[in-house]
Amino acid sequence: MKVNGKHYRSLWWNSEKNVLEIIDQRWLPHDFRTQTVGTMEEFADAIVEMRVRGAPLIGATAAYAMALAMKIDPSNAYLEKAWKYFNETRPTAVNLRWALNRCKDALLPLPEDQRADAALKLAHEIADEDVEINAQIGRHGLAIIQGIAINKKPGETINILTHCNAGWLATVDWGTATSPMYHAHNAGIPIHVWVDETRPRNQGALTSWELGSHGVPHTYIVDNAGGHLMQHGKVDLVIVGTDRTTRRGDVCNKIGTYLKALAAHANNVPFYVALPSPTIDWTIANGVADIPIEERSAQETTHVQGIMPDGSIGMVQVTPEGTPGGNPAFDVTPNHLVTGLITERGVTPATAEGLQAMFPEFANVKPAAKNKKTGS
C-alpha cells in the first residue's frame, strides 16, 4: 500500500545487496523505519521482537530466512536446524510452520547445489501468493459490504469494527481484514472503521496509520468500547484477522477478539474473519484446547510506547512499581460465534463441512499429536 504516495510492501528483496528489507513496525505509527535482515539471528529477532508481525508476514519472512539458511549451508542437517530455530520464534501463528514446512518439503528432494536458488525463488513465490490471496479476500469481502450497503440509505456510511492490525502491515500487501475495507473504499462505498487500540502492543495504532495513509475514515477506540457501540447500533459489521484457524473454524486471533465476538453475537452484528488458507491448521479441530497461546513479556502490559515530550519515541510505565503483568497475546473464538470465513476462494461457514467444501484437497489431513508448548 502507499506511504506518502509511494507504494510499499511490508517486506521486499534487495537484489543489489542480496538481503531482505523490512519495515521495522516497532516504531510505527510515529516513525517509518526500514532495515535489512541478513543473518539468521536478525531473522529470528525480527520475528520475536515483532519488527515484522502478523501471521502471513511471519510466514513470508520465514521463507526468506530459509533461503538464507540454504545459502549458508544447504545440507539436510542445517535445513533441519534452521527449521527448528525459526519454528521456535513464535508459537501461535501457524503460517510460520506452514512456510517452514513448505520450504523443507520443496528443498529436501533437491541436490544441495540447487537449494539456495530454489529457496529464494520459493520465498518470492510465497510473498507474491500472499498479495494475490489477500486481494481475493478483499474482493469476496467487498461483496459482503455491498450487501450491507443495499440495505442502507444511499450514501449512508457503513460502520465496520476491526481488532488489532490485520492490515497490509501484517501481510506482504493489502492485509486480510483490511483488504475488504480498501476494496470498498476504492469502489466509492462510504465506510468508517472503528479501530480497536488492541493493548498491550497497540496494533490499532498501526491500523489507524494504514487507514489514514489511504484516506479511509476511521476512529481509534479503546478495546472495551466495541460492545457499547454494538449495543447502540453503531457497528454494521465486524471483520478481524486470524493467526490460526482450526479445521472446524475455531479462530485464534489477537487477545480481545473473543470478547468482540461475544458482543457481536449478543447484538446480532455479523462477525467475519478474513482467512487466508495458509492460516488454516488442518491438524486440529478444537482451538481452545489445542492452539498454543503465546505469553509475551509482562513489560508489554505494564508499559506503553509513544511520543515523549521531547519528540522521541519512548516507553512509560503505567503500573505501580512491582506490579506483575500477565500477557497472553491471543485468544480463541469458537466457531459458533463466527458468521463466516472470508477466504481467497470465497466466503464459507465456520464449520468443518464449510472449510472442507472450500478446500477439498485438505479434507484427509490426519490430526497430529500436538505439543501445545511449541504448536508443532
Ligand X SMILES: CSC[C@H]1O[C@H](OP(=O)(O)O)[C@H](O)[C@@H]1O
Enumerate binding residues for ligand X (CB under 6 A).
53-56, 164, 166, 170-171, 176, 203, 241, 243, 253-254, 329
Nearest of 245, 241, 219, 91 to residue 174 by alpha carbon:
241
- Retrieve residue 324's grid coordinates: 506483575
Min CB(177)–ligand X separation in Å: 7
| Strand 346-348, strand 313-317: pairing | unpaired
Query: Is 130 marked active-site?
Result: no
Nearer to ligand X, 115 or 163 (CB): 163
Closest CB to ligand X among 11 and 107? 11
- In angstroms, give the least distance from the CB of 164 to ligand X: 4
Q: How far is the CB of 254 from ligand X (least distance, A)?
A: 3
254 annotated to a ligand binding site: yes
CB of 330 to ligand X, least distance (A): 6
90 is an annotated ligand-binding site residue: yes
Q: Which is nearer to ligand X, 243 or 250 (CB)?
A: 243
Nearer to ligand X, 235 or 329 (CB): 329
- In angstroms, the Cα distances linking 147 to 6, 231, 301 are 32, 21, 39
3-state secondary structure of 79: helix
Toward ligand X, which CB reaches closer, 116 or 210? 210
| 316 Cβ contact partners less than 8 Å away, ≥ 6 residues apart | 303, 304, 306, 308
25 is in an annotated binding site: no
335: three-class secondary structure by DSSP: helix
Q: Kindly calculate the radius of gyration of the chain based on its CA atoms and give it in whole angstroms.
A: 20
User: What b/e string do you get for 204-232 counting C-beta neighbours within 10 Å, with b at 16 or more?
Assistant: bbbbbbbbebbebebebbebebbbebbee
Q: Cell for 80?
A: 533441519
Task: Out of 223, 243, 281, 290, pick the active-site residue.
Answer: 243
Give the shortest CB-53-to-ligand X separation in angstroms: 4
How is 32-60 classified by DSSP, letter by letter?
A: --EEEE-SHHHHHHHHHTTSS-SHHHHHH
The annotation status of 226 as a binding-site residue, yes or no, is: no
Is residue 253 a known part of a binding site?
A: yes
Q: Is the dihedral of CA 202, 205, 210, 214 positive or negative?
A: positive
As measured in angstroms, the least distance from the Cβ of 349 to ligand X is 21
- When the beta carbons of 140 and 254 are compared against ligand X, the nearer one is 254
Q: How far apart are CA 225 and CA 72, in angstroms?
A: 50
d(CA 228, CA 8): 36
Catalytic residues: 243
Q: Which residues are annotated as a binding site for substrate?
A: 53-55, 90, 203, 253-254
